[in-house]
Amino acid sequence: MKRSIRKYLEKFDNGDFKSKKINIQCDSGWYDWFCKNTSLANKTITLTKKLKTIVSSKKINQDKMYVFFKNNCPMAGSLYDDFRICNIETGDVVYTITPSCGRTATKGRAEVWGKENEFEKPLVSGTWKDVKSFFLN
- What are the structural domain ranges in the chain? 5-136
Which residues make Cβ contacts (< 8 Å) with residue 87, sequence separation at least 6? 64, 65, 94
Task: Band the pLDDT of 136: cuts 50, 70, 90.
Answer: very high
The whole-number pLDDT of residue 2 equals 86
Task: Dump pLDDT digits (tens) for 31-80.
Answer: 999 999 999 999 999 999 999 999 999 999 999 999 999 999 999 999 99
Task: Band the pLDDT of 125: cuts 50, 70, 90.
Answer: very high
Q: Which pTM does this prediction carry?
A: 0.95
Which residues make Cβ contacts (< 8 Å) with residue 63, sequence separation at least 6? 4, 5, 6
The whole-number pLDDT of residue 93 equals 98
Q: Which residues of 58-88 are buried (b: 16+ CB within 10 A; e: fewer)?
A: eebebeebbbbbbbbebeeeeebbbbbbbee
Residues 134/124, Cβ–Cβ less than 8 Å: yes
The whole-number pLDDT of residue 1 equals 60
